Amino acid sequence: MPEITTLVLFAAATLALLIVPGPAVVYIVTRSVTQGRSAGLVSVLGVHAGSVVHVVAAALGISAVLAASATAFTIVKYVGAAYLVWLGVRKLMSRTPDDGDPEIERASRARLFAEGFVVNVLNPKTAIFFLAFLPQFADPARGPIAPQIVLLGVIWIVLGMASDGTYALLASALAGRLRRSARARRRLDVGSGVVYLGLGAVAALAGEGARKL
């Protein structure tokens, strides 16, 4: 197993990466604002169920295969980018009810969880983390690599749930006025849509450079 100092350094570096908003944070904040705290927290659970896929893939060596195969990495990259663009277009095309009708279309908990799961499974930020960053903290001299990857992945998930859960709680606490205003809700949809489109473009254009890290 990695040394304690290595784990502490990994945890600090992971937390620094996690607090930078990416596709998962955008999704969690949007759901927290539109549907409240419980929706945001369910979204967090879905997102980090997706993180488990990345941990298992890294432990089994699938991530290494993707890193070595330009074709495989490109497919994953463009699927993730296309999904982000689709989310952005859906946000931009959504219709916001008038102020006289404050009801917002509410997604079920199963849908919130499933969408969060898909967002993070196809999240370029998370994929690049497990491809290029996490393996640097695994030391073959300290034993088998797979258990080390699993341990580091668990640390990522725990810190990720804490970080993303904080985003969900803060967003839901500040969302009251947004939910009561049709204009504010529309601005939120447009802003979220633009962010999703931007993230999709970044994923499509910058992913290949990240693969070479």
What is the per-residue pLDDT across 75-100, written as a single tens digit (0 to 9) for each?
A: 766 776 676 677 778 777 766 555 44
What is the per-residue pLDDT across 159-177, written as a single tens digit (0 to 9) for each?
A: 999 999 999 998 888 776 5
Considering the chain, what is the average pLDDT of its residues?
A: 76
pTM for the whole structure:
0.67
Handedness of CA 15, 58, 21, 44 (dihedral sign): negative
Q: How many C-alpha atoms does 69 have within 13 Å on its Cβ side?
A: 13
Nearest to 2 by CA among 181, 147, 107: 147
Please say if the pLDDT value at position 179 is more than 70: no
Q: Cα(28)–Cα(42) distance, rounded to whole angstroms?
A: 9
Q: Cα(197)–Cα(188) distance, rounded to whole angstroms?
A: 14
| Stronger pLDDT, 85 or 192, i.e. the higher one | 85
